[in-house]
Structure 1
């Protein structure tokens, strides 16, 4: 193995251990997909709470840490934290040959990981609304014949029927179009995020026609998902997340009156601490 392959293999072991991953295929995917091929030339800008700092080097070895790399630093758009995505990919329980929709693909790194996990028998549709990022993703992913990149909003497009919808931008609510596109047994993973502070990665599983299991996977903070934000809901979510009771959530309910099991009540949807109906 070359030095960079050794570093990538350790990075894969580290972030999947940090993400408490159980599926060995997730570690294998991170060990094989070359992050440097999706981030443009270095030096790169690394996000910190104090602002961005430069790597001051174009050596790709620097990328194999659990760090966020700026894609558009003026807008706070980053290639997200690897250990968080490792945890989410593990929770997604992707099988070979599945159809996946990725909303907010950026320049394609996590799209490539999704494509590796579903394999060439699967299909991945990657939506990216930003023209520049979409162009980079199209180029970066051109070698993967089972991936197509669409310069469209994943909140307004008619989505393909999917086994997994993987959203990489913060929403204040699950969109009906996302839920309706899920096959039976299909999963939706998206950051449910308030107007301020941390939200959480929510895994929603369609267990029957109008029945959805739901659970939070991890705390999360993402750039806003254009077309999936409601200011009043985002404000209400602030206090919900401050309660530190996300572990109690077990199901998503739609267009039914909320009962005493409600953890959070939105418009025509609510999260319940009871099992799916």
Structure 2
């Protein structure tokens, strides 16, 4: 790479980092520094790369265009880049993830579980945001991607990568669970793994027509919920079975959800917007916590 090319890449990387930081909606300077310091191209394999075309449109799924060269400027922007074209697996949309990261606000020293880590790019971002003393436990069901993630994440502190099905494996007690695959209903043990104050963010896919980011936050025992922006991801193996649905919301109903309950703790009532085998979603907000008199 010539000096001129290097200077152009540095400028593009700085601009991209500023855009990502702005998309978080947070004034925290760590976001901009992290996006600038973690080179996305290092997690994509050798270029040229393949960029997805309108991946949210069914008729365009698996359509890609090839970058003109292996110049990293092509992937330091808000594009979906293929990790496995045949399977439709991409490195997620950066602006979407920036919005997610701003919503969950990873803190120094937190324990993070990353489900659907791919080749490890957003795992690395999460690792940087939880320094010092934080840790990230990444799970990836695709064996080749899990191996790529292990190799890519060697320079990052306190990161582990497990190849396996996170819907079946035990998760560590977590301050943040970050899920990068479409979920019909979150497994009970994911919710139970959240520490008090813990957050779980995931792409909720209760039906073909609904694809929305869901943010769940644990209080002492209760679970509040808040739908955020649209989010289209490939299905999460083990957590995307539509037959576990008892009641499916429409789009308007999905936007009213304010809490989540385990069926074993509380049976669904008239506030239920969506009901599944083990969990249900309610439009009833949790009662505010008031100070003792």
**Aligned: 1:265 with 2:270:** no
CA contact (8 A) 2:139 2:164 kept: yes
Name stretches of at least 5 consecutive residues in structure 2 with no aligned partner: 1-5, 55-59, 288-293
Instruction: State the SS of the aligned residue for 1:192.
Output: strand
**Aligned: 1:242 with 2:251:** yes
Q: Give a deviation string over 1:206-260, Cα, whole Å, max 9, x none.
A: 1022x101101211111111111222356964xx2433x4442211122223233
Cα distance in 2 for residues equivalent to 1:219 and 1:235: 23
- State which of 112, 132, 138 in structure 1 corresponds to 2:124: 112
- Aligned Cα root-mean-square deviation (Å): 1.9
CA contact (8 A) 2:245 2:277 kept: no
**Aligned: 1:34 with 2:42:** no
Cα distance in 1 for residues equivalent to 2:216 and 2:227: 9
Change (3 A) 1:233 1:24: farther
Cα distance in 1 for residues equivalent to 2:205 and 2:119: 22
Change (3 A) 1:236 1:20: farther
Instruction: State the SS of the aligned residue for 2:86.
Output: helix
The aligned residue for residue 148 of structure 1 is: 160
Cα distance in 2 for residues equivalent to 1:85 and 1:78: 13
Cα distance in 2 for residues equivalent to 1:69 and 1:203: 25
Give the drift of 1:22: 4.7
The aligned residue for residue 232 of structure 1 is: 243
CA contact (8 A) 1:194 1:235 kept: no
The aligned residue for residue 251 of structure 1 is: 259
The aligned residue for residue 10 of structure 2 is: 5
Cα distance in 1 for residues equivalent to 2:237 and 2:169: 12
Change (3 A) 1:262 1:236: closer
Change (3 A) 1:215 1:228: same
Instruction: State the SS of the aligned residue for 2:269.
Output: coil
- The higher radius of gyration belongs to 2
Change (3 A) 1:22 1:175: farther
CA contact (8 A) 1:187 1:203 kept: yes
Give the drift of 1:268: 3.1
CA contact (8 A) 2:247 2:273 kept: no
Cα distance in 2 for residues equivalent to 1:81 and 1:171: 18
Give the drift of 1:194: 3.6
Return the TM-score normalized by structure 2: 0.87
The aligned residue for residue 133 of structure 1 is: 145
- State which of 177, 181, 189 in structure 1 corresponds to 2:193: 181
Cα distance in 2 for residues equivalent to 1:22 and 1:216: 22
Name stretches of at least 5 consecutive residues in structure 1 with no aligned partner: none
Change (3 A) 1:273 1:195: closer
Return the TM-score normalized by structure 1: 0.92
